[in-house]
Amino acid sequence: MAYQTGTAAGPTPLLDALRLFAVASGWQELRWGPSGPGQQLSLRKGELIFHLRSALDEALRSGYQRVTGIFLVGSDQFDPAQPWNNQPGMPRDPSKRIEAVGLYEVEGPCTYHLFSSESPVQLTMVAEVAPGVYHHLAFGQLVKYGDYPGGAFVSGAFGSSDALTASASDYIFGDTQDLHFGLPFNDYKYAGGNYVRAAADGFDGWWSVCQASPITGKRAISVWEEGPRSPRESLANYWWSRTPNTLNGIAPLLPLYVYLERPDGFFSPFGYPAHLRYLNITHHAPAEVFAIGPEQWMAFPAHSKNNKSGVHGYAVRLER
């Protein structure tokens, strides 16, 4: 099964839908059981292991806001004696406290879209948590530019507890006109809602895709990071200024390249998710399917089209 859509009445039914879809798509269910007021789910495919937990007005840990939705983390191994949030090789801050990404604001019934892809493995969920408001969760493996250790990623519309705000640190291109709420691999978000597993420069763990102050101690960026000197425009900004094509109305897709920050302050290209693209959705309705030759993609707004996220959006590869 590569695509499924339906409705779920809350976080736990939403997680259950993801579970059933993942199992039907070849993921191994390591654990599915109660955890506090919610449910915890552990999934494996090959060497990839991910853990999810439905949250009902709960905080990830002390110091974070209470949220309702789904937490997501990755790990190296599965320890059945430990709960979902204490697994070996999870995203942690320098003080060894858990960090996660999430899909929150699931306050009532919502429509979900589930995508499964191979080569490399990726599982994506996009939920319409309120009319016109879409949040995502994605996890899997990046296409790497070389033979490096790691490559797993977790991506969410939120970080460990971040509410989406229109603050000065929560936009793209340094321009408040370009709010990006919830975009996959958004590196302009202060704390980050995406982690990439990599071993480099003596650090073997999860690198936080963010603008500054990486919450895990190591930073990765994607395509929105501005340059240090004039002109400061990022790759995404150059690309954005040319989309959609004024000749035929088609918006090119931009792969979400991921770079790791090196000790000297420069960045090394690491990989990209094969089944996600950055997209200007001016000419697409939310959840609209469009074709590029034999391939199909589904367009989503980063948050809500022509509202909090303008026409910033992303496309997920659709295989049926």
List the one residue from 84, 153, 257, 314 that touches another protein (CB under 8 A): 257
- Residues whose CB is less than 8 angstroms from the CB of residue 85 and which lie 6 or more positions away in sequence, other chains included: 51, 53, 60, 61, 71, 73, 98, 100
Is 115 a binding residue for another protein by CB under 8 A? The answer is no
Give the tokens for residue 15.
């997680």
Contact region with another protein (CB under 8 A), list: 12-20, 117-125, 217-225, 285-293: 285-293
List the one residue from 146, 228, 249, 263 that touches another protein (CB under 8 A): 146
Contact region with another protein (CB under 8 A), list: 84-92, 120-128, 138-146, 198-206: 138-146
- Minimal distance in Å, beta carbon 39 to another protein? 31
Give the tokens for residue 252.
């090119």
Q: Which is nearer to another protein, 51 or 312 (CB)?
A: 312
Contact region with another protein (CB under 8 A), list: 27-35, 130-138, 251-259, 303-311: 251-259
Q: Which is nearer to another protein, 34 or 294 (CB)?
A: 294
List the one residue from 34, 63, 265, 293 that touches another protein (CB under 8 A): 293
Is 272 a binding residue for another protein by CB under 8 A? The answer is yes
Distance (Å, rounded) from C-alpha 17 to C-alpha 211?
33
Distance (Å, rounded) from C-alpha 69 to C-alpha 129?
10
Q: Which is nearer to another protein, 107 or 295 (CB)?
A: 295
List the one residue from 34, 80, 263, 294 that touches another protein (CB under 8 A): 294
Q: Which is nearer to another protein, 131 or 293 (CB)?
A: 293
Q: Which is nearer to another protein, 59 or 250 (CB)?
A: 250
Is 285 a binding residue for another protein by CB under 8 A? The answer is no
Distance (Å, rounded) from C-alpha 163 to C-alpha 268?
30
Distance (Å, rounded) from C-alpha 184 to C-alpha 313?
9
Distance (Å, rounded) from C-alpha 170 to C-alpha 182?
10
Is 220 a binding residue for another protein by CB under 8 A? The answer is no
- Minimal distance in Å, beta carbon 274 to another protein? 9
Contacts to another protein from residues 27-66, by CB under 8 A: none
Residue indicated by tokens 């879809």: 21
Q: Which is nearer to another protein, 202 or 293 (CB)?
A: 293
Is 277 a binding residue for another protein by CB under 8 A? The answer is yes
Give the tokens for residue 196.
């990439």
Is 252 a binding residue for another protein by CB under 8 A? The answer is yes
- Minimal distance in Å, beta carbon 232 to another protein? 21
- Minimal distance in Å, beta carbon 79 to another protein? 35
Is 249 a binding residue for another protein by CB under 8 A? The answer is no
Is 253 a binding residue for another protein by CB under 8 A? The answer is yes
Distance (Å, rounded) from C-alpha 107 to C-alpha 233?
38
List the one residue from 18, 133, 254, 256 that touches another protein (CB under 8 A): 254
Closest to 106 (Cα-Cα) out of 139, 73, 71, 140: 71
Footprint on this chain of another protein (rule: CB under 8 A): 143, 145-146, 252-255, 257, 269, 272, 277, 291-295
